[in-house]
Amino acid sequence: MKDCLFCRIIRGEIPSQKVYEDDEILAFHDVNPARPVHFLIVPKEHIASLADVNMSHQDVLGRMLVKANELALGQGLSEGFRAVINTGRIGGQEVYHLHVHILGGPEPVGPMLTRLAS
Ligand code: 5GP
Ligand code: ZN
């Protein structure tokens, strides 16, 4: 998609620090890391969000998750990591090109979300 930020990164119009690339997916470091290791895995096909997927996307979605552990290990995350897919307004998505965040480092990444007061 012409003006999509991550499509522009995929086309090489905006530089990124690549972690991995094949014909279907690209992984690159987040420009504003939330943990010592923070990279994103994106499909090369423009899919706006997880709310826009259908069964035609199952292969590329599977590839993104299957690659996640291998790429995390390559970044030194042998003791684990967190994978996050923010989706839509409620999910806090900022860039509308589907991406999986992979987050980790030497220390635990912390609680998933703060629980609402009951
Ligand atoms: P979201 O909130 O949509 O799940 O996450 C978008 C992520 O993209 C954020 O963590 C943000 O730091 C990252 N990001 C935004 N612009 C750029 C960019 O130009 N390059 C890279 N590498 N990451 C970006
Ligand atoms: Zn895109």
Q: Quick one: which ligand is closest to 101's CA?
A: 1
Is 99 known to be catalytic?
yes
Element at 13 (helix H, strand E): none
| Atom in ligand 1 nearest the alpha carbon of residue 101 | 4
How would you write the pLDDT of the chain (118 residues) with one tens digit per residue?
A: 889 999 999 999 999 999 999 999 999 999 999 999 999 999 999 999 999 999 999 999 999 999 999 999 999 999 999 999 999 999 999 999 999 999 999 999 999 998 898 7
* SS3 of the chain: helix, strand, coil, percent, to 5: 25, 20, 55
